[in-house]
Structure 1
Amino acid sequence: MLDERVRGVALTFVDNAGITRVKTVPVAKLADAAQWGVGMSPVFDVFGVDDSITTSRHIGGPVGDLRLRPDLDRLTALAAQPGWAWAPVDRWTQEGEPYVACQRRFARAMTERAAAAGLSLRMAFEIEWYVGQPGEPPSPACTGPAYGMTRIVELSAYLDDLLATLAAQGVAVEQLHPEYAVGQLELSIAPGDPVAAADDNVLVRQTIRAVSARHGLQVSFAPVVVAGQVGNGAHLHFSARDANGALFAGGTGPHGLTDRGESVLAGALERLPALCAIGSPGVASYLRLVPQRWAGAFQCWGRENREAGLRFVTGVTGTEDRSANAEIKCIDGAANPYLVVGAVAALVVDALDAGNRLPAEVGVDPASLPDAEQPPRLPESLPEAVARLEADEGLRRAMGDPLFEAFLAVRRAEVELFAGRSSDDIAAATRWRY
C-alpha cells in the first residue's frame, strides 16, 4: 500500500532510443489504469534520441493507440520525490492483446522461454554516471582521483542520501564507488530475474537523477560525456542454473565451466557483434567502445579480463556455485535495458545445448598484442553493428518483425542524424539525453 501522502504515480516504459518515457496518473486513477490502461501512441517506438520521428514497415505515424498498464507488483513510493510513486508498464492494444513491440513483454517472453528450457537466469546491471554542476561545458562535482576516497569525501552527503533513498525503495545495492572518468561514479545492483533487473535499472537511474536534482547537481548516463574520455557503461552480469545446479561452476571446462555453461558463453561470444547494436545502440556509443578504455572493445573472453568483450567472473574460491557469472561489457547508458536482458536471454537459450566451445582465452590486454595476434574488434561504428544485428536471424525471430524493424529504423535514423558531425558535437548532443 502507498503512503497517503502519495498523490501521483509515474508510469514508465523505455523506447527504442533508450529514453525513459512517462505518463502519470493520480493515485485515485491507479486501479483504473491497472485494469484498462492509459493511452499512449505507438509512434514512440520510432522516436529518436533527439525526439525526431522516423517510421518502419510495421510501426510509425500518428494513427493508433496503445494502453499502458502498470505492474502493481513493482509499485514503489519514490523517496526522493515526495508525493510520487513509480511503476513500470506493459503495453497492450486497445483490444486487450499484448502489444507485439512492447520491450518489457519481450524481456518477459525470453525469461519464460529460458524457464521452459529448464533454466533460471539471474542478471544485474552496473550503472555508471557522471555527476557535475549544472551548465555547460561539463564541470564535475568532484575533483578527486579515479577510485579515490577524496570523491567520497567531497560527495559524502549526496551519496549518503542516495543510499538511504535506494534502501527506502527496497533496492539492494551491492557496491558504490568512484570510477575512472572525471566526475564518474558506479553503482552495482543485486541480481534478480531478467525483467526485475531491467526494472531496477530504470528505477535506480531515475532515483539517481532525483537525488542529484535535490542536491543541485546534474547527471548523465550517456555513453560519453566528453569525447575522447572514458564513457559510461551499463555492463550486464548474468548467470544461469539448471536442474543440476550452476552452469558456470563445478564443471570440467575452462575455470570450472560445465559443458552447457561453456556452450552458453561461446554462443554469446560469437554473437556479441550483433548484440552491440542493442547494447551500444547510439552513434555516441562508438566513441566509448574503443580499446583501453574499460569498454571491452574486442570479441574475446577471459577470466577477470576487463578489456575483453566477455569477462568471466569465477568469484572467490569456495563461492563459485553462487557467485560465478559472466559480464557483457558492450552495453552502455543508451541501451534499453529490457531489450538487453531479453536479447541475452535469447542468446543463452539458443546456445544452451548447441555444443559450442570457447576459443582460446585472452589473458592480457588484447590491444597489447601484435596486430596479427589480436582478436577481432567488435563493431567500430553504429552502421557496422546494425548490419551485424540485421543478419542475426535468431534475434529477429526472438524480437519479432515489428519490434526488430522499429528498432533498426531508429538506429538508421540516428546514423543519418549525426552523419558528418564531429565527435565533440555528437557528445554534446547526447550527453543530457540520458
Structure 2
Amino acid sequence: MKPHWIDETPSAAQDYVAGRRLDEVECIVADIAGVARGKAMPASKFAHQERFYLPNSIFLQTITGDWADNPSGAFTEPDMILTPDFSTATAAPWTADVTLQVIHDVSDQSGNPVPIAPRNVLKRIVDLYRQRGWRPIVAPEMEFFLVARNIDPNQPIMPPMGRSGRRAAAKQAYSMSAVDEYGKVIDDIYDFAEAQGFEIDGILQEGGAGQVEINLNHGDPVALADQIFYFKRLIREAALRHDCFATFMAKPIEGEPGSAMHIHHSVVGIDDGRNIFSDVQGRETPAFMHFIAGMQKHLPAAVALLAPYVNSYRRYVPDFAAPINLEWGRDNRTTGLRVPISRPESRRIENRLAGMDCNPYLGLAASLACGYLGLVEAEAPRAECLGDAYMSQDELPYNLGDALDLMDENAAMREVLGAEFIAVYQAVKRNEYKEFLQVISPWEREHLLLNV
C-alpha cells in the first residue's frame, strides 16, 4: 500500500515508486552555496511527520565547511521549520534502494519564511513581479565539464578519457563525435532525468575539452531553480558511474573556456499572458528597454551572486567566450546582454554573466532583481552595441572582494533581495575570501621563491 502523501507528488515520482516499496525520503534545502542540506529518513517515518527541523546555522556555513559569524549577533542556532513541498518530490534513481527527494519550505517558529534561505529569496523576487501584475519567465542553460577523477587538489584538472582511449579534445564545439566520446554518461543523464520527470531541451558539446551544455525549457523561475539544483546532483552521480567527475566550477581547467549559466528572461502579464517586451504589432516595447537598462545599471552589484567564488573571476577574461562587459546587442554573443533571434511572443533577454558555479536560486533571483528594478525605474539603456563588445571597456569587478563591495553599496539591490539576506551572504563570502587569501599558490612559489 502506497503512502497517502504520494498522491500529492508529481506523476513522475508516483510512476517511480509504483508497485515498489518506498524505502527512504531525503528532506532537503539548498544552503547559500546551493549544496543540499537536510536529513534522510525511512519513508514510514516521513509519512507520519508534517514538519522537520534544522538549525538556521546551515545558512552560515561556508563552502569549506567553516562557519561565518552571525551578522545578527548571538550564534544560538535556533531551529527552523521545514515543511515538505510535495510538488518538488522526485526520484533519486542512482540509489540502491527506492528513494525520493523532497525540497522543503523553510520558515521560522512563527511561520514566517526565513529571509536568508536562497529559495525564499527567489520567491521574494517573483512575488515583487506578481505585485505589479507580471510573471517572470526564465530559460537557463547549464554548462559543465566532465573531467578525469581528481583526488589530489594539488594536481591540475585533466579532461576525461573517452571511449576511443584518448582524452577529450578542446575546440570541438557542437561536435557530435565529441559528445559520443562520453556517451554512456550522457545516456545516464537522460535516464536519470526521465526518471525524475525533467525535460531536457537539448545537449551539446561546448568549446572546452569535455565541456557539455544542457538547455532547459522556459518556465517558472522557482521550478527551474529546483530543477538545476536537482540536475547538479544528477549529473555528478551519472559521471561517478563511469569513473569520472562532473564539475560546475566556473573555470576548472587552465587554458579552457569557463562554464556559464546563461539565463534567458521574459515577462508576461498575469491577466492576459502577453509578453510585455512586445506590443500588439510585435515591436519592442519601452518595458523591454527598461529591463535592459536595469540590468546594465544593477548587474555590477549582483555579480557577487552570479560569480560567487574566487575561481569565478577567472572566467571573465577576453577571448574565452565569456562576457566582460554590460553592453547589449541583438544576436551578438560578444555582449554580456544578448537579445536572441525570436518571434515577438518569445522576445527575451539573455544574461551571459552568470557562472554555473552560482546557487541557481540566487543566480536567478539576482538577475531577475536587476530587470525588475529596471522596469520600476523606467530608464533607458545605453545604445546597442553593433560590433565586437570584447573591445569595449571592462565593467565587471575583477575579484570577489570588489564584487562584494559593489553589492554592499547598492541600496536598491539590498532592498529587493532583503537586507538580512545580504548581511548573511556578505559574512559567508568574506569568510571564504579571507581564507583563500591565506593560501599560497603554485604560481607564487614558482615565480617569487627565488626571484624576488
1:13 has 2:29 as partner: yes
Task: State the SS of the aligned residue for 2:112.
Answer: coil
Task: State the SS of the aligned residue for 1:139.
Answer: coil
Tell me the equivalent position of 1:29: 45
Query: Using the alignment, how far apart are the partners of 2:180 and 2:287 within structure 1?
Result: 46
Q: Which residue among 95, 106, 111 is the counterpart of 1:96?
A: 111
Tell me the equivalent position of 2:10: none
Task: State the SS of the aligned residue for 1:284.
Answer: helix
The one-letter code matched in structure 2 to 1:247 is I
Tell me the equivalent position of 1:113: 128
Structure 1 residues 207-356: aligned runs within 5 Å: 207-242=234-269, 245-250=274-279, 256-315=283-342, 319-321=343-345, 323-356=346-379
1:388 has 2:388 as partner: no
Relative to structure 1, the CA distance from residue 43 to residue 231 in structure 2 (aligned partners, 3 Å threshold; closer, same or farther) is same
Structure 2: unaligned runs, 5 residues or longer: 1-5, 7-13, 163-167, 445-452
- Displacement of 1:344 in angstroms is 2.9
Task: State the SS of the aligned residue for 2:353.
Answer: coil
Contact 2:124 2:417 in 1 (8 A): no
1:139 has 2:158 as partner: yes
Q: Which runs of 4+ in 1 moved over 4 A?
A: 420-426
Task: State the SS of the aligned residue for 1:61.
Answer: coil
Aligned identity (percent) is 25
Q: Deviations over 1:306-335 (max 9, x none)?
A: 2222111132xxx331x3221112211331
Query: Using the alignment, how far apart are the partners of 1:159 and 1:216 within structure 2?
Result: 13
Query: Using the alignment, how far apart are the partners of 1:359 and 1:72 within structure 2?
Result: 44
Tell me the equivalent position of 1:56: 70
Tell me the equivalent position of 1:416: 434
- Displacement of 1:73 in angstroms is 1.0
Using structure 2 for the length normalisation, give the TM-score.
Answer: 0.85
The one-letter code matched in structure 1 to 2:427 is A
Relative to structure 1, the CA distance from residue 412 to residue 329 in structure 2 (aligned partners, 3 Å threshold; closer, same or farther) is same
Using structure 1 for the length normalisation, give the TM-score.
Answer: 0.88
- Displacement of 1:205 in angstroms is 1.2
- Displacement of 1:170 in angstroms is 1.4
Query: Using the alignment, how far apart are the partners of 1:45 and 1:182 within structure 2?
Result: 34
Tell me the equivalent position of 1:44: 58
Structure 1: unaligned runs, 5 residues or longer: 427-434
- Displacement of 1:115 in angstroms is 1.4
Contact 1:227 1:423 in 2 (8 A): no
Q: Deviations over 1:51-96 (max 9, x none)?
A: 1111132277353221222211110122333522112122122343
Contact 2:56 2:79 in 1 (8 A): yes
The one-letter code matched in structure 1 to 2:351 is I
Which is further off, 325-334 or 88-97?
Answer: 88-97
Tell me the equivalent position of 1:70: 84
Query: Using the alignment, how far apart are the partners of 2:80 and 2:124 within structure 1?
Result: 19
Q: Which residue among 405, 408, 416 is the counterpart of 1:398?
A: 416
CA-based RMSD of the aligned residues comes to 2.3
Contact 2:51 2:84 in 1 (8 A): no
Query: Using the alignment, how far apart are the partners of 1:107 and 1:221 within structure 2?
Result: 21
Task: State the SS of the aligned residue for 1:166.
Answer: helix
Contact 1:251 1:259 in 2 (8 A): no
Counting matched residue pairs gives: 413
The one-letter code matched in structure 2 to 1:45 is F
The one-letter code matched in structure 1 to 2:69 is T
Which is further off, 62-71 or 380-389?
Answer: 62-71
- Displacement of 1:301 in angstroms is 1.0
- Displacement of 1:217 in angstroms is 2.0
Contact 2:299 2:367 in 1 (8 A): no
- Displacement of 1:197 in angstroms is 1.4
- Displacement of 1:278 in angstroms is 0.8
- Displacement of 1:149 in angstroms is 1.9
Relative contact order, CA 8 A, sep 6+: which one is greater? 1
Which is further off, 346-355 or 201-210?
Answer: 346-355
Query: Using the alignment, how far apart are the partners of 1:27 and 1:12 within structure 2?
Result: 14
Contact 1:125 1:188 in 2 (8 A): yes
The one-letter code matched in structure 2 to 1:19 is V
The one-letter code matched in structure 1 to 2:159 is P
Task: State the SS of the aligned residue for 1:230.
Answer: coil
1:188 has 2:204 as partner: no
Which one has the largest radius of gyration? 2
The one-letter code matched in structure 2 to 1:234 is M
Query: Using the alignment, how far apart are the partners of 1:303 and 1:381 within structure 2?
Result: 29
Q: Deviations over 1:345-395 (max 9, x none)?
A: 33333222433212111233323x3xxxx2442111111111111111122
- Displacement of 1:408 in angstroms is 0.8
Query: Using the alignment, how far apart are the partners of 2:21 and 2:443 within structure 1?
Result: 44
Task: State the SS of the aligned residue for 2:377.
Answer: coil
Q: Which residue among 194, 204, 208 is the counterpart of 1:167?
A: 194
Contact 1:221 1:232 in 2 (8 A): yes
Query: Using the alignment, how far apart are the partners of 1:251 and 1:260 within structure 2?
Result: 14
Query: Using the alignment, how far apart are the partners of 1:271 and 1:328 within structure 2?
Result: 12
Q: Which residue among 224, 227, 230 is the counterpart of 1:200?
A: 227
Task: State the SS of the aligned residue for 1:403.
Answer: helix
Q: Deviations over 1:15-41 (max 9, x none)?
A: 2234333322221233445x222x222
The one-letter code matched in structure 1 to 2:260 is G
